Amino acid sequence: MKAGPKDVFLQLLNIIALYVSAGMFINLIFNYINIWLPDAVSENYYTILAARSSVRWAIASLIVVFPVYIWATWFLNRGYAALPEKREMKIRKWLLYFTLFLAGIIIIGDLVTLIYNLLQGELTTRFSLKILEVVTVAGGIFGYYILDIKNRAPHKIFAYAASLIMLAAIIAGFFLVGSPKEERARKFDDQRVQHLQLLQSEIINYWVKKAALPKSLNELNDSIRGIAMPQDPESGAVYVYEIKDKESFKLCATFNLPSVPENIYYGNENWAHDSGQTCFDRKIDKDLYKPEKPRST
């Protein structure tokens, strides 16, 4: 039986959705493993943040693409039930065998990469979990489509099992990286930390120039350099600044959420904070930051 445009489109849609879903699922679980089992040898705070961002992208992709794969598979199988001769279409055979080929390539490529990372010193537990995931996903796809070629694939069981696994992985992602509302709140907190870092830098610069702490943050505004002291990005409130003695000061901000655990794990506790108002005590080291000598006229 010849394949028409509709058959070609559906077959391609089905296979592409499968490739994207499988790739994103593997990526999702890899990032879960990296976050749950952090390795200070190969990662830092910023790579963990990148992993969290990758988790969100994988979840977004799976929410859209995986249902397309399930729908396309269901629609094709319904057509095969009505016209069994469609199973013998050349495009279907070619794409099925290409899928088997690609599953084998993925297994080989990922195993090479994982073994390389192990030789580079990656934690053996992470290595074992990633190997297990690759073999399970690629092996499951390989086995299912081998049976599909023989017209013995358990379509409903595969669809339900895959859907439950995908749903569990997506729900786990929301627990791990937080809801959209929580992520927005955390972005505001990140901006607050950046503002406090700027304020601290400008206070130190003021100290170096004038051998004294500014009496208020307004003294740090500099129209020539285009420097204006930031305010809270959410409420517009002025950040709290207090002078403790000649070399010590305090900066405070009100945060929505506590710092992410990785911040402290990777030694970035300098700006670690709880929810609510958090103050950071700073003391200028006169050996590091020496006041400039007045210029002679």
Tokens of 75: 């629609």
DSSP per position, the chain: ----HHHHHHHHHHHHHHHHHHHHHHHHHHHHHHHHS--TTT--HHHHHHHHHHHHHHHHHHHHHHHHHHHHHHHHHHHHHH-GGGGG-HHHHHHHHHHHHHHHHHHHHHHHHHHHHHHTT--HHHHHHHHHHHHHHHHHHHHHHHHHHTT---HHHHHHHHHHHHHHHHHHHHHHH--HHHHHHHHHHHHHHHHHHHHHHHHHHHHHHHSS--SSGGGG-BTTTTB-----TTT-PPPEEEE-SSSEEEEEEEESSPPPHHHHHTT-GGG---SEEEEEEEE--TTTSPPPPPPP-
One domain, residues 90 and 172? yes
pLDDT along the chain (297 residues), means of 10: 70 88 91 80 67 90 95 86 77 79 77 79 79 85 84 87 93 85 90 94 91 91 86 93 92 91 56 92 85 63
Decide if 99 is inside a domain: yes
Task: Mark whether 203 and 86 lie in a shared domain.
Answer: no
Position 60 scores a pLDDT of: 94
Pick the last residue of a domain from 178, 195, 228. Answer: 178
Which of 116, 146, 178 delimits the end of a domain?
178
In this structure, are 62 and 77 located in the same domain?
A: yes
Residues 194, 59 within the same domain? no
Give the residue numbers spanning the domain of 258.
Answer: 182-283
Decide which of 178, 212, 241 is a domain's last residue. 178
Residue 24 in any domain: the answer is yes
Q: Do 230 and 173 share a domain, yes or no?
A: no
Torsion, CA 56, CA 57, CA 60, CA 63, rounded to 10: -100
Instruction: Indicate if 113 and 204 belong to the same structural domain.
Output: no
Is 294 domain-assigned? Answer: no
Domain presence at residue 138? yes
Write down the pLDDT at residue 42: 61
Q: Look at the chain and report how many structural domains it folds into.
A: 2
Are 169 and 219 in a shared domain? no
